[in-house]
Amino acid sequence: MPEPQLSFANDYSCGATPEILERLARTNDVQYPGYGSDDVCASAKERIRRACGAPGADVWFLVGGTQTNQTVIDAITPQYAGVVAAASGHVNVHEAGAIEATGHKVLTLPHHDGRIDAAELDSYCATFYADANYEHMVFPGSVYVSQATEYGTLYTRAELEAIADVAHRHGMPLFVDGARLGYALTAQGNDLTLEDLARIADVFTIGGTKVGALFGEAVVFTNHGGYSRTPKHFLTLVKRHGALLAKGWLLGVQFDTLFDDGLYLRIAAHANRAADRIRAALTERGYELTFDAPTNQVFVTLDDATRARLESQVAMGYMEPTADGRTVMRFCTSWSTTDEQVERLIALL
Amino acid sequence: MPEPQLSFANDYSCGATPEILERLARTNDVQYPGYGSDDVCASAKERIRRACGAPGADVWFLVGGTQTNQTVIDAITPQYAGVVAAASGHVNVHEAGAIEATGHKVLTLPHHDGRIDAAELDSYCATFYADANYEHMVFPGSVYVSQATEYGTLYTRAELEAIADVAHRHGMPLFVDGARLGYALTAQGNDLTLEDLARIADVFTIGGTKVGALFGEAVVFTNHGGYSRTPKHFLTLVKRHGALLAKGWLLGVQFDTLFDDGLYLRIAAHANRAADRIRAALTERGYELTFDAPTNQVFVTLDDATRARLESQVAMGYMEPTADGRTVMRFCTSWSTTDEQVERLIALL
Amino acid sequence: MPEPQLSFANDYSCGATPEILERLARTNDVQYPGYGSDDVCASAKERIRRACGAPGADVWFLVGGTQTNQTVIDAITPQYAGVVAAASGHVNVHEAGAIEATGHKVLTLPHHDGRIDAAELDSYCATFYADANYEHMVFPGSVYVSQATEYGTLYTRAELEAIADVAHRHGMPLFVDGARLGYALTAQGNDLTLEDLARIADVFTIGGTKVGALFGEAVVFTNHGGYSRTPKHFLTLVKRHGALLAKGWLLGVQFDTLFDDGLYLRIAAHANRAADRIRAALTERGYELTFDAPTNQVFVTLDDATRARLESQVAMGYMEPTADGRTVMRFCTSWSTTDEQVERLIALL
Amino acid sequence: MPEPQLSFANDYSCGATPEILERLARTNDVQYPGYGSDDVCASAKERIRRACGAPGADVWFLVGGTQTNQTVIDAITPQYAGVVAAASGHVNVHEAGAIEATGHKVLTLPHHDGRIDAAELDSYCATFYADANYEHMVFPGSVYVSQATEYGTLYTRAELEAIADVAHRHGMPLFVDGARLGYALTAQGNDLTLEDLARIADVFTIGGTKVGALFGEAVVFTNHGGYSRTPKHFLTLVKRHGALLAKGWLLGVQFDTLFDDGLYLRIAAHANRAADRIRAALTERGYELTFDAPTNQVFVTLDDATRARLESQVAMGYMEPTADGRTVMRFCTSWSTTDEQVERLIALL
């Protein structure tokens, strides 16, 4: 079965940005020590610390997103506790129970276009501790948010600070899943820098898989005290989750390249601009954008006929049904999206 | 700290065999569907089935060895049971508790240069079921062996058949960890073919990480009935372990290349020949080979002075102390080992 | 701090119905084999099978409710799946994450006064399997309902049959938590008999702790085929959860007594009648009953002043806050509730 | 099937010491708050603290032994670590994988008649941390010993102090399983008092099930600093393991009675004296005592003929086969063992 020629199905449908492939080729014969103990990883970590303005941060490289969420959440959430997340959060919906597999409940808050609200988080915790039977319940033990969210929307700096404040007041570290962080950092209207994030979050990830790498997620423990510190023997915890890559330098090479001279942000900005063009074209043609989302994911609510017509010519991502019988579909852009592809898509619309 | 120029520390210290890198470059811009649902994975699976002479086999691709062992063992071992393995088995010693993290005990048998013995397995099970209190104990629920073993040794076809027979008689599937399967299949004196393995084992892996790939382990459920069948919803189980690669075709590309025109075996044979030369040189010079192992790992028992002298010039792998105060060290060869490297090593000895 | 003299706080605040205590005293010196392998357990199981009209049922005795839910759900729910329950279900709210501790997500449906709706369950499953990405999500793998529910309400026979039908159509066993089953079976308006339950459910429990025993929950695997069968090596699974009582006959003695000559139902009916009187008095005096619940739990929505006044004279159970700033409180009756206590309470109202 | 009239099969084959039964009858109608928050539990805890000479100790009551070991070990052992135990330890052999079910490996040391050796523990840890790859292995994270051991033998005070010292030096709390603690404290030749134990161990249990109670294990966190402190939110951890008894005062009543006026030790001493008589009789008649064990378990190595002859007349406990084809069997005494039973047994020998 031949794939449709044109695809905006997701942001992980091509290999890596050419700079990464070239460097992998160039270093292919070099002998590195295993498991990330090599110089390239050290360099990549240092570049990330500098980009974060966080010289004390501790950086680790894992392979995939679900794996990373599972490993980090299991490490930072007490045994008697769960992780608080938006009902729409990746950890709640699309990780096949990977969080529960480590014994932790996902405690859900309502989402607002993918975002949780600091006041609702506060109220959740207040209600919890006011319950006479709270010791018989799952404690809120850590907070998970995604930036950009699963619906492509963003937290402002103020919103994220408010969430971190509430989290810390209730004894919880804040974990920001940055599987699509690049797209957030370079979106129109975004006011949250990487330095802000490293100051606000206790731990966050910088996604490579969906932002130009073959694979790889950088985990940054910001280590600014309080809830922000590397879990003890984290390497062993990573290994225990089957998440420690033997040829660890492959991750180092990729992140060292992405964080050399701003490549990571350039790639993301490129994809965002393509998405902006698609959004403009959709709006112009009267399509309904499902979310007001400025990043590389374009969500559109389609009736069955339009969906069928489009799907015959372009691969899209399926999201969810709506209450009124339509479907939320997604166009995704990435490092590999070309102007020509965008123009073909727009012509189809 | 500069790495020693010469390294035989392990078989995962260089990138991939050039054929793989070239193909990754060639396919870098192709848009593939995610999670292994692409045509390249389909082709790679078909090539593996053919190489196994097992048209009904079910093939999956995961990223790393510990991850694969964890996912497979958790899937095939009943909840009330553990996995039987050699005390020296990777799952018992070097996986940071990844098996126990899924709730399963590793039940150990004594090892004989890394191998378990069918009669001892039988006796273990017989004793278990003869115990009046066996329902209060962890059932032997699956059997794990490695080919080649962690000590580079091999099971003969007859030995593996005997183990499979015993396993099946006691209601257990046999899982063969082939992280270094290529080296086993091409070793001098080996009598076990890939087709034999697919006939005997219920599930086995074909290691890529240590045999020419950047990363990747192929899991083969041989599906010849009885204990040999794919666990239900295995894709979801893989995802639940955080082991499902988004850009799954990267694994397909690697295995499709490795199983094109016998490359996998050629790479392994090359490394074995280099190891044979090292073994011959060691023997000639009076070194003590720790195990009579014909594959790409050369184990040598060294006193402290010799170890220190060698380590100053060549990177070796550390294995374990001996009772008499010496150390078992390892020289590993791989696809990237050159004649020149072997000669330099021999000159050092 | 002296306890309030009058307490309707819960249905587990006194010891056991006198018949049980007497029999424990009578058998105290008898030597029984351990772990439930004794004759008294055998007799109790047979009595329960007869009361259920289910000669093929398989009966087990565990100690506590959370323990039982954890052990049963873990045994009947596939590894790739979660258990579907009302958002208000005990397993979702008040078990401190015991279900997630076994690796299973609790998948919640909205509750209707504590009940789930068969059509909503069907819709949930249909939506799940219609999702293009369902293999990346937690499968609905078993269904958990409580009879009586956590809010004291009941399923009718038709409702439960409908739920069982939906569950089976989507490949799930139906588990009915009967921690307060006696109160359900003897409530006014109930139309579901124990025989019905044994015919409809795949596995259910008969609660002792809250219905006259010191402790103990009987688990009944109804074994009528399909999803209804005892999990393999269930004794070992029980032990693995730390749930196997050494002096197992203590459970046998209690259930053998409760199921001798209808004692279990008589105790429950007694408590229901006391609750009916309280409900009548509350209604008469203009209190707002929170739920239309006919069993031994009486829920009443109180403003702060009334709550404070009552709590100074009688112990009640705290349930949850309401949206309008009041509190749902609970009066519970049990085998030990006396007419005199009920009259004192009514005088206070 | 009638049970054999005479049974020395185990120490949990009768109910409770009469004082407990009487008090349960006396308090049966009292209304207590749930989950151990009652005055009787408070009194029992205070009695235990006084008996331990440990006013700062924190005492909890759980139901069963495996449950207690599972809950405590999971609470005190880091996620990256396992629990070190004798190969013969209950947690390694007879708990159906309850420890591994919580994700922790049991790391075994050789046993010496059931005991581990401090020097071997030290050597194990030293070897572990000397291994270049130790971060890929399961850390030794806590130490489990039994007093009395599973073979009825005892640690001396000096031996236990040495083990605690080694444990602490390697960063591990010491957990002493006292399922049969009473028998240890009152054995001939024992030099370890309850006060010693509370000073040496970080956490230990006082077994009720096998020493006069219907059921129940007291957990004592000795809280003398360092590794000795109650795990945070331990009540929630207990609940999460399904181990929190609703009618918690039933445990309080039992331990408050056992620790009133030395009853616990009197019961144990009674059973030990009966066992001493059996041991003397066995020795006199030329039987081979398997272990030099001074507590209530008498181990004897029997050939098949003798075993068959005895088993036809008295119930014994099965332990394990010996290398030479015989069987280790066990006679157990308890609070309920009478002089008449001992005499009948001796007559049979």
What are C144-157's pLDDT values in tens digits? 999 999 999 999 99
Mean pLDDT confidence for B124-141: 96
∠ CA C34-D13-D311, nearest 5°, is 80
The whole-angstrom distance between residue B166's C-alpha and the CA centroid of its chain comes to 22
Rg, Å, chain D Cα set: 20
Give the tens place of pLDDT for each residue, D10-38.
Answer: 999 999 999 999 999 999 999 999 999 99
Sequence length of chain B is 349
At D267 the pLDDT is 97
D36: nearest CA partner in chain C: C13
Pick the CATH number of A6-13+263-348 from 1.10.3210.10, 3.40.50.2300, 3.30.70.270, 3.90.1150.10: 3.90.1150.10
- Tell me the percentage of chain A whose pLDDT exceeds 70: 99
User: Residue D228: what pLDDT?
Assistant: 87
Cβ distance C240 to B136 less than 8 Å, yes or no, reads: no
Q: With CB atoms and an 8 Å threshold, state whether D242 touches C239.
A: no
- Angle D18-26/D249-258 helices, nearest 10 degrees? 140
pTM, two decimals, is: 0.97
Calpha distance B200→B222 (Å, rounded): 9
For B106-160, the DSSP string reads EEEE--BTTB--HHHHHHHHHHHHHSTTGGGS-EEEEEEEESS-TTS----HHHH
A19-44 tens-digit pLDDT: 999 999 999 999 999 999 999 999 99
Q: How far apart are CA A215 and CA B246, in angstroms?
A: 8
Residue type for position A124: Y
The pLDDT score that the predictor gives to residue B283 is 97
Separation of alpha carbons A75 and A57, rounded Å: 17
Q: What residues form DSSP beta bridges with C317?
A: C330
Give the contacts of C308 (CB within 8 A, at least 6 positions apart): none
Distance from the C104 Cα atom to the nearest Cα atom in chain A, whole angstroms: 6
Tokens of B152: 């580079």
Which pLDDT value is given to residue A3? Answer: 46
The pLDDT confidence band at residue A2, using thresholds 50, 70 and 90, is very low
Is the pLDDT at C33 greater than 70, yes or no? yes
Task: Summarize the confidence of residues D198-205 as an average pLDDT.
Answer: 98
Residue in the structure block whose two tokens are 């007869």 = C50
Nearest-Cα distance to chain B for D180, in Å, is 19
β-strand partners of C228 = C225
d(CA B317, CA B9): 4
Position C2 scores a pLDDT of 46
Locate CATH 3.40.640.10 in chain D.
Answer: 18-258
> Any CB–CB contact under 8 A between B233 and chain C?
yes
Fold of A18-258: Aspartate Aminotransferase; domain 2 (3.40.640)
D138/B80 touch (CB, cutoff 8 Å), yes or no: no
* Residues B317-347 pLDDT 10s: 999 999 999 999 999 999 999 999 999 999 9
Q: What is the mean pLDDT of residues D221-237?
A: 93
Task: Write out chain A residues lying below 8 Å of C135, CB-based.
Answer: 96
Task: Work out the minimum CA distance from A90 to partner chain C, whole angstroms.
Answer: 10
**Average pLDDT value over all residues in chain B:** 96
pLDDT in tens, B199-230: 999 999 999 999 999 999 999 999 988 888 99
Three-class SS state of A16: coil
Q: What pLDDT does A169 receive?
A: 97
- Chain D residues inside the 8 Å CB shell of A235: 135
How many whole angstroms separate alpha carbon B252 and alpha carbon A265?
A: 29
Yes or no, beta carbons of A137 and C94 under 8 Å apart = yes
Whether the CB of A233 is below 8 Å from some CB of chain D: the reply is yes
Given strand B174-177, what is the order of strands in its sheet? B58-62, B217-221, B203-207, B174-177, B139-146, B81-86, B106-109
| Chain D positions in Cβ-Cβ contact with residue B100 (cut-off 8 Å) | 82, 100, 103-105, 138
Chain C's closest residue to A129, CA to CA, is: C320
How far is the C-alpha of C316 from the C-alpha of C130, rounded, in Å?
Answer: 46
pLDDT tens for residues D72-104? 999 999 999 999 999 999 999 999 999 999 999
Is residue B242 within 8 angstroms of chain C, CB to CB? no
D43 and C CB contact within 8 Å? no
- Interface contact D105, partner B, CB < 8 A: yes
The alpha-carbon gap from B62 to the nearest alpha carbon of chain D, in Å, equals 20
Q: Do A135 and D235 touch (CB under 8 A)?
A: yes
CATH number of the domain located at residue range(s) C6-13+264-348 in this protein: 3.90.1150.10
Residue D137 C-beta-side C-alpha neighbours within 13 Å: 21
Binding-face residues of C in 126-185 toward D, CB within 8 A: none
Q: What is the pLDDT of residues A151-170, one digit of tens each?
A: 999 999 999 999 999 999 99
pLDDT band (50, 70, 90) for residue C3: very low
Considering the domain D263-348 in this protein, what is its CATH number? Answer: 3.90.1150.10
CB burial readout B252-272, b (16+ within 10 A) else e: bbbbbbbbeeebbbbbbbbbb
Residue A1 pLDDT more than 90? no
Whether D318 has its CB under 8 Å from any CB of chain B: the answer is yes
With an 8 Å Cβ cutoff, is B80 touching chain D? Answer: yes
Q: What is the pLDDT of residue C155?
A: 98
Cβ(A291)–Cβ(A316) below 8 Å: no
Q: Which helix (H) or strand (E) holds A331?
A: strand A327-332
Which residues between 266 and 285 in chain B have a beta carbon less than 8 angstroms from any beta carbon of chain D? none
pLDDT tens string B9-49: 999 999 999 999 999 999 999 999 999 999 999 999 999 99
The verdict on C9 touching D (C-beta cutoff 8 Å) is: yes
Q: Which of B72, B80, B129, B235 to mutate to test the interface with C (most CBs of C within 10 A)?
A: B80
Residues of chain A contacting residue C103, judged by C-beta atoms under 8 Å apart: 97, 100-103
d(CA A101, nearest CA chain C) in Å: 4
Confidence of residue A234 (pLDDT cuts 50, 70, 90): very high
* Subunits with 3+ C-beta pairs closer than 8 A to B: A, C, D
Q: What's the DSSP call for residue A109? A: E
- CB-based contact C137 A94, cutoff 8 Å: yes
DSSP conformation letters of C88-153 = T-HHHHSSTTTTGGGT-PEEEE--BTTB--HHHHHHHHHHHHHSTTGGGSPEEEEEEEESS-TTS-
Element (H, E) at C276: helix C263-284
For D50-70, how does the pLDDT look when each residue is reduced to its tens digit (9 = 90+)? 999 999 999 999 999 999 999
pLDDT at A226: 82
**Mean pLDDT for the stretch of residues D259-285:** 97
**DSSP E strand stretches across C229-343:** 288-289, 297-302, 314-315, 317-321, 327-332
Q: Locate CATH 3.90.1150.10 in chain C.
A: 6-13+264-348
User: Is the Cβ of B239 closer than 8 Å to some Cβ of chain C?
Assistant: yes
Measured between beta carbons, which residues in chain D are less than 8 angstroms from residue A137? 236
Query: Which residue in the set B100, B130, B132 is minimally distant from D105, CB to CB?
Result: B100
Instruction: Calculate how close chain A gets to B14, using CA atoms only, in Å.
Output: 5
Cβ-Cβ contacts under 8 Å for B199 (sequence gap 6 or more):
B53, B54, B222, B224
- Decide if D79 and A139 are in contact by the 8 Å CB cutoff: no
Instruction: Determine whether the interchain pair D320/B131 forms a contact, defined as Cβ–Cβ distance below 8 Å.
Output: yes
Whose CA is closest to A257, among A19, A12, A32, A16? A19
DSSP string, D76-104: HS-TTEEEEEETT-HHHHSSTTTTGGGT-
Contacts of A93 in chain B (CB under 8 A): none
Q: How many Cα neighbours within 13 Å face the side chain of C24?
A: 31
CATH 3.90.1150.10 domain extents, chain D: 263-348
Mean pLDDT computed over B67-82? 98
